[in-house]
Homo-oligomer: A and B are copies of this chain.
Amino acid sequence: MNANVTVYVSLKEGVLDPQGSAVEKSLHQLGYESVADVRVGKTMTLTMSGDSKEAIAKQVEAMCDQLLANPVIEDFTYEIEEVLSV
């Protein structure tokens, strides 16, 4: 089975987000005062193959724990979309 997996990595609630603060400040300087808060995160789109959706999910969680997300300050979610071969 082939799949496109999208992993969303975001900072945990309460963790300082200097990047988000910098973006917010720039938006205010450009005149966008209606923006009250900005949080920046990452997305990773992976093309993967595996025996089943469950097997792919297990691999994705292991990859997130090992590399893609920092468990101390980041949370992750993911979506698995099967790619049907034509």
Contacts and interface: CB of A to CB of B under 8 A. Distances in A.
Interface of A: 8, 10, 20, 23, 26-27, 30, 32, 34-50, 56, 59, 62-63, 66-68
B23 A48 contact: no
A47 to B, nearest CB: 4
Contacts of A42: 40-43
Contact of A67 (B20, B23, B63): B23
A17 to B, nearest CB: 10
Nearest to A8: B43
A37 B47 contact: yes
B30 A66 contact: yes
Contacts of A34: 48-50, 56, 59
